[in-house]
Amino acid sequence: MTGCKSDGDVVGLTISTRVRDDVTIVDLRGRSTIGESELLDRHLQKLLASGARKVLLNLTELTQVDSSGLSIIIATCASLRRHGGDLKMLCPSGHVLEVFRVLRLLGTITSFDDETQALASFRSLGHAASSS
C-alpha cells in the first residue's frame, strides 16, 4: 500500500491488525466517535499488553474522529513512548486530518502518506513488536 485513498463511508468502526517486520499496523475503517471508541481502546490496550511497541495507525479509511478517539490515540502514543516505542499515523485525511491539524497534533504524532516510508521510520527503535 503506497497511497492514501478511501473507498467511502463506513458506519461504526472496523479494526484489523497486521504485522510487517516488527511493526504492528492497525487498520481503522469508519469512525472513532464516543460510541465506537471503547472498541479502539480495548484493541490498542491488548496490543500494548502483548508487547507491541511499534504501532502504525492506518487512518486511510477513518472518516471521523472525536475527542474520545483522539484521547485514546494520544494516550496510546504517550504509553508507547514511555516504554521506548512509538505510534505513528498513516494517511489521515479529510475530517480526521483537519482535526489533527486544528489541534496541532501533527507535530506531536508523526504522519506519513506512504506505508513503506512509515515502516522504515520505525527502524531506529530497537524493540520488537511483541515479546514472544
- Answer yes or no: is 1 within a domain: no
Cβ-proximal residues to 85 (8 Å cutoff; 6+ apart), any chain: 52, 53, 54, 55, 125, 127
Nearest to 109 by CA among 82, 91, 79, 86: 86
Chain centroid, CA 94 distance in Å = 16
Number of independent structural domains in the chain: 1
Bigger pLDDT: 36 vs 52:
52
- Answer yes or no: is 8 within a domain: no
Nearest to 105 by CA among 75, 64, 63, 62: 75
The mean per-residue pLDDT over the stretch 37-48 comes to 95
Query: Taking the model in full, what pTM does it have?
Result: 0.86
Would you tell me how many other CB atoms lie within 10 Å of the CB of residue 21?
Answer: 11
The mean per-residue pLDDT over the stretch 8-31 comes to 89
What CATH number has the domain bearing residue 32? 3.30.750.24
Q: Is 10 buried (19+), middle (13-18) or exposed (0-12) by CB count in 10 A?
A: middle
The mean per-residue pLDDT over the stretch 47-76 comes to 96
- Answer yes or no: is 129 within a domain: no
Cell of 69: 478517539
Question: The cell 527502524 sits on which residue?
Answer: 123
Which residues constitute the domain of residue 62? 13-123
- Answer yes or no: is 6 within a domain: no
- Answer yes or no: is 92 within a domain: yes
